[in-house]
Structure 1
């Protein structure tokens, strides 16, 4: 059984994304206070200027992000392991841009997330009314097809918040598309971001849901714990509950360093 004292929070943001508060140093201090062994910053990576610009760092801020994380690494050395990662987006047509950014620095861990269906940012509260004009079955089929594309792209180490479209309570009416996506994720030997932020959202359920956690574990897919913290007080959020859900499913918790998976 994994000890809480050996846990990493591998999904943390910084103010550079434009919608997080607190300095990286404050996130590290919060992790120490929570008794975590380490953290990995995974802020929203730069994308082409036309894509989702208000919600991520600009390309000219990438070096600042890396330098800031390295400063925190040095300050907390010997007390807390601090790693450097990104939450990257999978949006068809942007793969070459993403690949260039991923080659720019020696990242420890890269999450691949789908936040858009076409031009619609489906997890943005500003646009939640769009769900009323969508067929949920079609929406989820489209979403999981993109997740499969992310898994096949070879760009990422894990898939972020697997069942994200449920965020506002719009649950999948049929799990078949999710199960097909899990087959592709397993074949690509990727992990899943076990994202506790869902417990802070209207759906009040972590990503992935318990039944998808069981299905992933049955396929040999590992889980990377992440709070998706956008404030220091969210670091390590409900990790005891997360461990319980993963262990009840027979799953394994892992971390990444140098883009290599570690138990």
Structure 2
């Protein structure tokens, strides 16, 4: 069985690249019949983009494109999430732990947060729940998740933010190091200010604390610190990998095989790396499958390869989630 438990419906900032990728996604399912780059083609393209912007990502039309792709690729369970920082209710949480000072980094991050924090959490939760039965009728289980940034010291506040919502699962993720969003392309030069060994030690200590927090069902993209190809020799990281794996097992927290960095970022490597994957398997960590897609045409991307990777390691079950309970199902 193939599943995909890490799928986004939208992500800012809202550039022309966002428009281009949105149009490409729509045209996969609703091809433009006009001669490409003719005026009629452009008019039809504008109509489609206008519909996408007018209806937003929380529309049945947009979500149904994800359903079509799940059916095309044989994905039996689909988990829709959004980044916690997309929701206005979480502004105080992120401003507390992100660098939003008057420094160059702080100014850029404050501007970024303003651009991406555009939604209300209730709207998202209610919409996904409202579509579950329609998906079930088509033979696909739709699950509701959230991807929540973990900050050391923010456990109580995060728990409060998540309380009262009927999530099927909560993903923990680490995108920040001491307030710096290290996967932000505008801030990647800051890697040069750090000793990489110390940087990775700090990152993986945060990942372990996330696993121990009791807040998460699985931790996303464990080694996403490598996003812009800044990584020391992996031999120096093996002990850290083992420490993370043991923390996951001891706290009954899983992880994912996530191809997002492979097809969207300079490092062009899945999370976890092959060596990290070997360590996680050896220690008995449980896995789910994901795409980290932000557009419907990327749902389930590389799912066949991921399934093969798992089976070649002797893994016969995959983690799925229902009402915050992990259910292992045959791969």
Per the normalisation by structure 2, the TM-score is 0.72
Q: Which has the larger radius of gyration?
A: 2
Task: Give, in angstroms, the shift of residue 71 of structure 1.
Answer: 2.6
Please tell me whether residue 7 in structure 1 is matched to residue 2 in structure 2. Answer: yes
What is the match of residue 108 of structure 1? 168
Cα contact 2:2–2:307 (8 A) shared by 1: no
Correspondences of 1:12-91 after superposition (within 5 Å): 12-15=7-10, 23-45=62-84, 46=87, 47-49=90-92, 50=95, 51=98, 53-54=113-114, 57=117, 61-79=120-138, 80-91=140-151
Task: Give, in angstroms, the shift of residue 206 of structure 1.
Answer: 0.8
Of 231, 235, 260, the residue aligned with 1:197 is 260
Of 308, 321, 325, the residue aligned with 1:256 is 321
Cα contact 2:66–2:296 (8 A) shared by 1: yes
Cα distance in 2, alignment partners of residues 94 and 74 from structure 1: 35
What is the match of residue 103 of structure 2? none
Cα contact 1:28–1:72 (8 A) shared by 2: no
Cα contact 1:11–1:227 (8 A) shared by 2: yes
Cα distance in 2, alignment partners of residues 108 and 259 from structure 1: 5
Cα contact 1:107–1:259 (8 A) shared by 2: yes
Cα distance in 1, alignment partners of residues 283 and 66 from structure 2: 33
Please tell me whether residue 154 in structure 1 is matched to residue 214 in structure 2. Answer: yes
* CA RMSD, Structure 1 to Structure 2 (Å): 2.0
Shift in CA distance, 55/74, structure 1 to aligned 2, threshold 3 Å: farther
Cα contact 1:210–1:245 (8 A) shared by 2: no
Which deviates the most, 220-229 or 242-251?
A: 242-251
What is the match of residue 246 of structure 1? 310
Shift in CA distance, 70/30, structure 1 to aligned 2, threshold 3 Å: same
Which deviates the most, 221-230 or 88-97?
A: 88-97
Cα distance in 2, alignment partners of residues 83 and 56 from structure 1: 23
Q: Number of paired residues?
A: 257
Cα contact 1:16–1:57 (8 A) shared by 2: no
Structure 1 or 2: larger helix share?
Answer: 2
Cα contact 2:5–2:290 (8 A) shared by 1: yes
Cα contact 2:261–2:269 (8 A) shared by 1: yes
Cα distance in 2, alignment partners of residues 48 and 149 from structure 1: 22
Gaps of 5+ in 2: 23-56, 99-108
Gaps of 5+ in 1: 1-5
Shift in CA distance, 17/224, structure 1 to aligned 2, threshold 3 Å: farther
Task: Give, in angstroms, the shift of residue 54 of structure 1.
Answer: 4.3
